Chain A
Amino acid sequence: NAGVTQTPKFQVLKTGQSMTLQCAQDMNHEYMSWYRQDPGMGLRLIHYSVGAGITDQGEVPNGYNVSRSTTEDFPLRLLSAAPSQTSVYFCASSPGQGVQETQYFGPGTRLLVL
């Protein structure tokens, strides 16, 4: 199993540009989530999904959209990038099934918005 994969590893955007961060998992996990990591602020939850077709907002959802059309994929979309969205983005998944479970993180995407 590849586990949780993310693409791209690095990305530079100009203010106002749009892009999609890709996340995929091959463990048949129901639960997937997106976090951003900024210095001194830990990991903050952006959006999460408890299964295909279901998404919900986390702590810092503004400026981001998600969808979950399949169990495997959970893309994060930035519609109009802003410098404040410069961060490291981590995708995570867990088996879910209504029980607390270990979350497995992807390798991260470093995003710089100029």
Chain B
Amino acid sequence: GENVEQHPSTLSVQEGDSAVIKCTYSDSASNYFPWYKQELGKRPQLIIDIRSNVGEKKDQRIAVTLNKTAKHFSLHITETQPEDSAVYFCAASHGGATNKLIFGTGTLLAVQP
């Protein structure tokens, strides 16, 4: 089955710096890669996703890149702000009839003011 590895497990940056979180997946049939943000004590919420027919997607300060050949995808946050502090999860899915998501183990991002 699918396996998703995520690095780093913790990341501390200064406010205004960029943050990059990387994930690799094992199943070449995966074609949907969402990123979720989870604030302390809250539920995970989707922040951005990318599908296998796209190499990069941007939404304001957030971008995701996908390298299907290498089977890895990354989340990029620019001009970080203290409210970006949270746990970020990547996930991968075959899509199709099940949309069964397999998650990475999460990255705790701390943005220091």
Contacts and interface: CB of A to CB of B under 8 A. Distances in A.
To the question of whether A and B form a pair in one complex, the answer is yes
Given A41-B105, A90-B44, A100 B95 contact: yes
B22 to A, nearest CB: 15
Nearest to A95: B99
Interface residues on chain B, size class:
20 to 34
A43 interface: yes
Contacts of A58: 100
B97 A50 contact: yes
A44 interface: yes
A50 B98 contact: yes
Interface string B4-17: 00100100000000
Interface in B76-104: 89, 91, 93, 95-104
Interface residues on chain A, size class:
20 to 34
Given A42-B103, A45-B102, 8 more contacts: A33-B101, A42-B106, A45-B103, A48-B98, A90-B44, A100-B32, A100-B49, A103-B46
22 contacts: A31-B99, A33-B100, A33-B101, A41-B105, A42-B89, A42-B103, A42-B106, A43-B91, A45-B101, A58-B100, A94-B99, A98-B97, A99-B99, A100-B31, A100-B51, A100-B93, A102-B46, A102-B49, A103-B34, A105-B43, A105-B44, A108-B43
A-B complex: 5 closest residue pairs judged by Cβ atoms: A100-B32, A100-B95, A42-B105, A105-B43, A43-B103
